[in-house]
Amino acid sequence: MQKIPFNRPSILGRELANVRTAVELGQLSGDGAFTRDCNQRIVALTGAKSALLTHSCTAALEMAALLCNLAPGDEVIMPSFTFVSTANAVALRGAVPVFVDIDPETLNIDPEAAARAVTPRTKAIFAVHYAGYPAPMDRLAKTARDHGLLLVEDAAQALGSTLNGTPAGALGDMAAFSFHETKNIVSGEGGALTLMRPDLIERAEIIREKGTNRSRFLRGQVDKYTWVDLGSSFLPGELIAAFLAAQLDEAGAILARRLAIFDRYTAGFQDLEGSGRVRMPHPPAGVTGNGHMFYILLRDIDDRDGFIAHMRAAGIGTPFHYVPLHSAPAGLRYGRADGPLQVTDDISARLVRLPMFWALEDAEVDRIITTAWAWLTAPLGQ
Ligand X SMILES: *Cc1c(COP(=O)(O)O)cnc(C)c1O
102 vs 376 by CB, closer to ligand X: 102
Q: What is the DSSP letter of 379?
A: P
Angle ∠(221,223,226) on CA atoms, nearest 5: 95
Instruction: Give least dist CB 200 to ligand X, A.
Output: 20
Piece in contact with ligand X (CB under 6 A), picked from 51-59, 98-106, 119-127, 160-168: 51-59
Which residues ranging from 115 to 134 are in contact with ligand X (CB under 6 A)?
Answer: 128
Among positions 7, 18, 39, 58, the unique one binding ligand X when judged by CB under 6 A: 58
Among positions 57, 91, 149, 347, the unique one binding ligand X when judged by CB under 6 A: 57
Asked if residue 161 binds ligand X (CB under 6 A), the reply is no
Asked if residue 82 binds ligand X (CB under 6 A), the reply is yes
CA 337 remoteness from chain centre: 22
Piece in contact with ligand X (CB under 6 A), picked from 105-113, 150-158, 274-282, 341-349: 150-158
Beta strands in 189-291 (DSSP E): 191-195, 287-288
Which residues ranging from 187 to 206 are in contact with ligand X (CB under 6 A)?
Answer: 191
Nearest-angstrom CA–CA distance, 39 and 60: 13
CB 310 within 8 A of CB 374: yes
Contacts of 117 (CB under 8 A, 6+ apart): 77, 98, 100, 338
Piece in contact with ligand X (CB under 6 A), picked from 56-64, 107-115, 137-145, 298-306: 56-64
Asked if residue 157 binds ligand X (CB under 6 A), the reply is yes
180 vs 208 by CB, closer to ligand X: 180
CB 368 within 8 A of CB 356: no
CB 264 within 8 A of CB 294: no
Among positions 7, 88, 178, 247, the unique one binding ligand X when judged by CB under 6 A: 178
Q: What is the DSSP string of 331-366?
A: HHHH-EESS--HHHHHHHHHEEEE---TT--HHHHH
Piece in contact with ligand X (CB under 6 A), picked from 44-52, 53-61, 236-244, 368-376: 53-61
Piece in contact with ligand X (CB under 6 A), picked from 131-139, 151-159, 325-333, 343-351: 151-159
CB 91 within 8 A of CB 132: no
Which residues ranging from 85 to 104 are in contact with ligand X (CB under 6 A)?
Answer: 85-86
Interface positions with ligand X (CB under 6 A) = 56-58, 82-83, 85-86, 128, 154, 156-157, 178, 180, 191
